């Protein structure tokens, strides 16, 4: 499935802010001193390792914001699998602009491709199971929209985007409220009829309490595959079941086999390793 790109109005402020941060108070003093203003260059964005491409629009926007005269010939698009040596795009135009925008472009491209590649790894690990891989709110400040986009590009899905689009009652909420039942009842009374309510549980006893009061989803935190199987049986499709807790490509298959609907993975956005992509000078 092709994932539509994010609207320009969402990504332009991110890229612009990154360029402003990099340019500082005096601009690119290295490039401006070394490279003649009239110099032109042809370069290529090249993958150094296998993975999934994401964030190309942001990378190209970084170059265009520095100098609108920079042009790109796209060879691969977001969602495409990459192999070492794959040419992603040819970037050509004023050499100063290309060199000045290079780092910001690569920062976005390598990071978001890393998120997409990590997501694709877990998606592949559970292929054939009904569970879907979802991300969390454990995102880098300011980058949530693009990181969650990269998860979708990698074949995953998104959990809630913020504190305002769904109720997720976690252990500290339960502790302060005095239990699952009062927490759920207060949430139901305080939000609109279209807002879903999910409760985090650590034990099967808590799960039974959550199901007794009625919820839309349950987050089964740090349960073993056997506990998850028992939990799925207890829920019996009366709510969405979500497994979480230090899930990796190695542990995901057994967790997915338990029958849960969702597998949430926080490190996809807060700790995914970048995909190595470079900008190679051609002429």
Residue 268 has pLDDT above 90, yes or no: yes
Helices (H), 130-192: 144-153, 171-177, 180-190
Each residue's pLDDT tens digit, 68-117: 999 999 999 999 999 999 999 999 999 999 999 999 999 999 999 999 99
Give the contacts of 214 (CB within 8 A, at least 6 positions apart): 184
Annotated catalytic residue, options 103, 137, 196, 229: 103
Distance, in Å, from the CA atom of 250 to the CA atom of 32, rounded to the nearest integer, reads: 49
Q: Which of 40, 64, 77, 138 is catalytic?
A: 138
Is the pLDDT at 283 greater than 90? The verdict is no
Give the whole-number percent of the chain exceeding pLDDT 70.
Answer: 100
| C-alpha 100 chain-centroid distance | 27
Mean pLDDT calculated for residue range 115-120: 98
Question: Domain extents for the chain?
Answer: 8-119+272-281, 124-270
CATH assignment, 8-119+272-281: 3.90.1170.20
CA 119 – CA 213 distance, rounded (Å): 34
Phi, psi of 17 (to 5 degrees): -65, -40
- Would you put residue 155 in left (φ > 0), alpha (ψ -120 to 50) or beta? left
CATH topology of domain 124-270: TIM Barrel (3.20.20)
Annotated catalytic residue, options 78, 92, 198, 200: 200
The answer to whether residue 261 is catalytic is no
Q: CA 37 → CA 24, 27, 96, 256, distances in Å?
A: 20, 14, 7, 57
Of 64, 137, 144, 170, the active-site residue reads 170
What does the block give as tokens for 40?
Answer: 């032109």
pTM above 0.85, yes or no: yes
Closest-CA residue to 264 (of 155, 171, 161, 133): 133
The answer to whether residue 196 is catalytic is no
């Amino acid at each position: 499935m092709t994932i539509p790109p994010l609207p320009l109005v969402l990504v332009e402020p991110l890229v612009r802010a990154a360029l402003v941060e990099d340019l500082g108070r005096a601009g690119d003093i290295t490039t401006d001193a070394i490279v003649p203003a009239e110099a032109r260059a042809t370069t290529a964005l090249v993958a150094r390792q296998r993975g999934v491409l994401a964030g190309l629009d942001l990378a190209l926007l970084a170059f265009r914001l520095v100098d609108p005269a920079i042009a790109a010939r796209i060879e691969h698009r977001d969602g495409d699998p990459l192999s070492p040596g794959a040419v992603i795009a040819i970037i050509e135009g004023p050499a100063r602009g290309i060199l000045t925008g290079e780092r910001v472009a690569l920062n976005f491209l390598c990071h978001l491709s890393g998120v997409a590649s990590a997501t694709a790894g877990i998606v592949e690990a559970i292929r054939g199971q009904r569970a879907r891989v979802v991300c969390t709110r454990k995102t880098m400040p300011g980058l949530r929209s693009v990181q969650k986009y990269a998860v979708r590009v990698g074949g995953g899905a998104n959990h809630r985007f913020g504190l305002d689009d769904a109720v997720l009652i976690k252990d500290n909420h339960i502790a302060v409220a005095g239990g699952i039942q009062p927490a759920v009842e207060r949430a139901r009374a305080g939000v609109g009829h279209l807002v879903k309510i999910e409760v985090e549980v650590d034990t099967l006893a808590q799960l039974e309490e959550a199901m007794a009061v009625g919820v839309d989803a349950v987050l089964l935190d740090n349960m073993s595959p056997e506990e998850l199987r028992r939990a799925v049986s207890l829920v019996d499709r009366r709510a969405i079941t979500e497994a979480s807790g230090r899930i990796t490509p190695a542990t995901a298959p057994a967790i997915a086999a338990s029958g849960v609907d969702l597998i949430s993975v926080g490190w996809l956005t807060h700790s995914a390793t970048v995909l190595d992509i470079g900008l190679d000078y051609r002429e």
